[in-house]
Amino acid sequence: MEYRTAPGRALNRVVQSGAATKQLTEQLIQENEMDDLKQAGNRIRSFVERIENIDEELQALNDAKKEIFSEAKGEGYDVKILKEILKLRKQRPDERDEHEVLLDTYMRALDAATAESK
């Protein structure tokens, strides 16, 4: 602030410096927002690229899995049975036992119904 000049001039300078301060403050806020936006954009890009890399790895693994099934089929193995074995091996023993009991029960009921209808 300047006190030696006429009051109108000093006030005008204060108003101008206030406007400049406001403009500078707004510019700093915009720069901070841009920095925040850039940081968020970089994080988003990082997430997307990591997911894309995993998708590529999964595709490569699925291709390798298909090759193994083709190899087994080429040697005369039944791929459906291999897939069933894989499914059963993923189950806990008690789940597997329950599945087998239910399957056996249903098959007996189906056989009984078929035998009566003949």
Question: How much is the average pLDDT of 35-52?
Answer: 93
Q: Where exactly are the structural domains of the chain? A: 1-77, 78-118
Q: What is the DSSP track for 13-65?
A: HHHHHHHHHHHHHHHHHHHHHHHHHHHHHHHHHHHHHHHHHHHHHHHHHHHHH
pLDDT at 65: 98
Query: What is the pTM assigned to this prediction?
Result: 0.56
pLDDT tens-digit map of 16-40: 566 778 887 888 788 888 888 889 9
Q: Which of 20-24, 68-72, 73-77 has the lowest mean pLDDT?
A: 20-24
